[in-house]
Amino acid sequence: MKIALLPGDGIGPEIMAEAVKLIDFLVKEGESIETETALVGGAAVDAFDDPLPDQTLKLCLDSQAVLFGSIGGPQYDSLPRPKRPERGLLRLRKAMDLFANLRPAKVYDALADSSTLKKDVVAGLDMMIVRELTGDIYFGEPRGIHTNEQGLRVGVNTMIYDENEIRRVAHWGFQAAQKRRGMLCSVDKMNVLESTQLWRDVVIEVSRDYPDVKLTHMLVDNAAMQLIRQPQQFDVIVTGNLFGDILSDEASMLTGSIGLLPSASLNQSGQGLFEPIHGSAPDIAGKGIANPLAQILSLAMLFRYSLQRSDLAERIELAVEQVINQGVRTKDIARAGERVVSTSAMGDAVVNALQRQ
């Protein structure tokens, strides 16, 4: 099994170190896992003046899976856009054709109190957002800022999908629902936007292949509201790149902390990139207080989706649940008065739980 490790910026390297502890432990148990580390994001801009250097891209394309930390930081925000860390990630997603982004949001019983929402609204929540990741307004042309004939500056982006892009991610949505509670909600804005009218039409066409899945449709503004009103109604949501970006951050807060949520980005051949959905959190970087669980759970998804090792995925997920049930808490998930552990102590606790299984 060959995994590329891209720690990135901010808290990325700290949380990656904890996932690596798990990999080292599994290797000691006898698994053959080969890893290679490369620079990406701001770290790569600093070293090579490029957020996605050729050698990093090549390593990723040659690996079965990429474990990605996080990228970005205020010191890079004024760089020209092609040099910005975020552009490196977008280029990598595009180059690997990682069109299907799975973002599960699950509330652990022991943490139902940590959400900013009332416990009875979020308790037991277990949903997944399937976000299209290589199209939409993120990549559409024309784009840019120019000056028009009247001398006014104009900012332009293009929201665009072709039917193939919609169809392939819709299949992922239906298949995810089949493995779960059999409900798929497709989110669009078809009352205003033509590109999302096509989205709805194509999702309905694809639904004919999945008579066992109950398909519903929701406008994105309503979906944003329903997610905090009654999130339990959702099993799987499938949506475009922009709406999925926004709704998945919203869904993450239902679980109490964005520091808990992993994600998988996959292409047609099962190769994938696995990353926490949180960012590089520059404000807490280097302090040893970041929560490594989203990174560790991303490693679990990597084993499940790209390496076909659901057994290892389940062991890691169980170990995380055990550690949470034991009351081990990083700052982001601790309630007033609870003892707080460091990033590294949280990683050690997960390794110990694995060892005891």
Alpha-helical (H) ranges within the chain are 12-28, 42-48, 54-62, 85-95, 119-122, 163-178, 194-207, 220-229, 241-254, 293-305, 310-325, 343-356
Shortest Å, Cβ 89 to ligand IPM:
5
Q: How does 6-36 read in b/e, with b if 16+ C-beta sit within 10 Å? A: bbbbbbbbbbbbbbbbbbeebeeeeeeeeee
**Closest Cα to residue 257, out of 44, 38, 110?**
110
| SS3 at position 66 | strand
Q: Is 221 a catalytic residue?
A: yes
Shortest Å, Cβ 244 to Mg ion:
9
Shortest Å, Cβ 86 to ligand IPM:
4
Q: Is 50 a catalytic residue?
A: no
Q: Choose the contact partner of 89 out of Mg ion, ligand IPM, none; CB within 5 to 8 A by kind.
A: ligand IPM
Pick between residue 86 and residue 321 the one whose CB is nearest to ligand IPM.
Answer: 86
What is the DSSP track for 244-304?
HHHHHHHHHHHTS-GGG-EEEEE-TTS-EEEEESS---GGGTTTT-S--HHHHHHHHHHHH
Q: Which two tokens stand for residue 111?
A: 């943490």
Pick between residue 277 and residue 284 the one whose CB is nearest to ligand IPM.
Answer: 277
Q: Does 245 bind Mg ion (CB under 5 A)?
A: yes
- Binders of ligand IPM among 275-294, rule CB under 6 A? 277
Q: Give the amino acid at 150.
A: Q
Q: Is 189 a catalytic residue?
A: yes
Shortest Å, Cβ 88 to ligand IPM:
9
Q: Is 201 a catalytic residue?
A: no
Q: Is 188 a catalytic residue?
A: no
CA dist 275 and 261 (Å) reads: 9
| SS3 at position 217 | strand
- Binders of ligand IPM among 91-150, rule CB under 6 A? none
Q: Does 9 bind ligand IPM (CB under 6 A)?
A: no
Pick between residue 140 and residue 182 the one whose CB is nearest to Mg ion.
Answer: 140
- Give the CA distances from residue 314 to residues 121, 186, 279, 302, in Å, rounded to whole numbers and listed in that order: 27, 28, 25, 11
Which listed range, 18-26, 231-239, 245-253, 294-302, lies at the site for Mg ion (CB under 5 A)? 245-253
- Residue number of the CB closest to ligand IPM reads 86
Question: Residue 194's CB: how many other CB atoms inside 10 A?
Answer: 12
Pick between residue 34 and residue 77 the one whose CB is nearest to ligand IPM.
Answer: 77
**Which of 245, 247, 298, 304 is close enough to bind ligand IPM by CB under 6 A?**
245
Q: Does 188 bind ligand IPM (CB under 6 A)?
A: no
CA dist 262 and 282 (Å) reads: 19
Q: Which two tokens stand for residue 185?
A: 């909600």
Size of the site for Mg ion (CB under 5 A): 1
**Which of 60, 67, 89, 341 is close enough to bind ligand IPM by CB under 6 A?**
89
Pick between residue 44 and residue 312 the one whose CB is nearest to ligand IPM.
Answer: 44
Q: Does 275 bind Mg ion (CB under 5 A)?
A: no
Q: Does 86 bind ligand IPM (CB under 6 A)?
A: yes
Question: Residue 339's CB: how many other CB atoms inside 10 A?
Answer: 8
Active site residues: 138, 189, 221, 245, 249
Residues that bind Mg ion (CB under 5 A): 245
Residue numbers at the binding site for ligand IPM (CB under 6 A):
86, 89-90, 245, 277
